[in-house]
Amino acid sequence: MTQHNYNDSIEACAAHYGDEAEAVKTYMQEGLKQALRLPNRGPIQFLKNGALHPEIREAYSKYGFYVFEGVVTAQEMSDVRQDIDEVRSRFATHPDSKLDARGRPALGCDCKGPGLKWSKALSDPLGGTDVANGRHQIKLKELKASADAPEYAPFVLVGSLQFSEAALRLYGHPELLRVAAEVNGEDFAPFNEVLFIKDAGVGSAVSWHQDGDTHWNNPDFDEDIHGFNFMAQVYQSTPVNGVWVVPGTHKQGKLDIKAMVRSAGGERLTDALPIVCEPGDVVMCNRQLVHGSFANAGFEPRLTINFGFHRRSSVLDVMGAGIHSPAAIYDKDVIKKRSRVIGYAIDARQRQYPHEKPYDYKPFMEIDKTYKWDSAAKADLRDYNLQDLSI
């Protein structure tokens, strides 16, 4: 990846910070330089025996994230953007509305589970709150949006696979599922799927945090016990609109982020850097990695198709954290039911891209189970996210 000229957007964003403008600009520019120096980006590569290339595995283990470049082809990206535009056209007009801009029932308004979440423009809705068991320990600086900006902006679309067939098809991408099997074992289990939305000039901050919740004190704790997320980028991800991470923190257990902020002298954490991507890149990000994002006061939007996977041993017969779904013990039947989404995704993708060799998911093969993507499957996906395997 070559370094793009992000200066205009960085300048525009930094201007919102008043007396801190120069410090913010320097921080973002230096972070960008450091990010592009890391040897953790390139195409997905497997050895002849099918194993993930060891250099990818080693870099992911060392830094806690890897940028798979060019995963989503131009053809599929066109499909994704068209689908996302259609999905967004069905959003409610504001947080209290049940109708979209055309007067139709808004997307997900009849669902039992959470759907579209909103936030105030350029705010930090999670930082310093009890949301998600208080994992967002500090509040990032909230910026002032332009006078013509809406008061609220779309923030996260939860349970996204029931709303976006393009996201469902991407979820069934055979190479990404092969990577999941290499990292989490062939019996890997699903986690949670969302669209993260950070529109230009209004997109909210997400305060520094680690995603894991359940296994911090597990005697068998290791760097992969809380799984990972794939983050597919629909638009360019920049220092202004993108996720920032502190490389290596996924190996260090549960961290005191308030202490990290005190040590750094403010919210701009020491050693943090941005994950910069082109449209069609897919990031594999360890859930234990300290990460967050600043309010998007720049010019470029970011929309991330986010979906994660776990080791089966991390969720089997484990009490869930109650963050993404109601707290429950995930027995084999719960995992089996939640995993049907993988089957639907594989078949939906095969119908759209018949030239590809579809992924064979081992747990389905062991019980000779196949799934068909049809109208009954679409109905079956309604509120599927109430069964998210949240640890």
Q: Give me the domains of the chain, ranges plus CATH numbers.
A: 7-387 (2.60.120.620)
What is d(CA 115, CA 340) in angstroms, rounded to the nearest whole number?
A: 20
Which pTM does this prediction carry? Answer: 0.96
Residue 361: both structure tokens together: 């998911």
pLDDT at 4: 60
The residues, ordered by sequence, that sit 6+ positions from 303 with a Cβ below 8 Å of its Cβ are 84, 195, 196, 197, 198, 233, 234, 235
Residue 386 has pLDDT above 50, yes or no: yes
Segment 365-370 long-range contacts (CB within 8 Å, at least 24 positions apart)? 369/343, 370/343
pLDDT at 159: 97
Provide the sign of the torsion angle of the four alpha carbons 354, 160, 42, 361, taken in this order.
negative
Residue 214 has pLDDT above 80, yes or no: yes
**C-alpha distances out from residue 188 to 22, 114, 206, 346, Å:** 45, 25, 28, 15
Q: How confident is the model at residue 7 (pLDDT cuts 50, 70, 90)?
A: confident
Residue 264: helix, strand or coil by DSSP? helix
Average pLDDT over residues 111-126: 94
Closest to 167 in 3D by CA, of 76, 287, 66, 100: 76
pLDDT at 1: 45
**C-alpha distances out from residue 113 to 17, 108, 229, Å:** 37, 9, 21
**C-alpha distances out from residue 326 to 76, 132, 313, 387, Å:** 34, 12, 20, 8
The residues, ordered by sequence, that sit 6+ positions from 38 with a Cβ below 8 Å of its Cβ are 59, 63, 247, 273
Do 158 and 194 contact (CB within 8 A), yes or no?
yes
- The torsion region of residue 17 among left (phi > 0), alpha (psi -120 to 50) and beta comes to alpha
Q: How confident is the model at residue 2 (pLDDT cuts 50, 70, 90)?
A: very low
Which stretches of 38-73 are DSSP H helices? 54-63
What is d(CA 314, CA 212) in angstroms, rounded to the nearest whole number?
A: 11
Q: How confident is the model at residue 217 (pLDDT cuts 50, 70, 90)?
A: very high
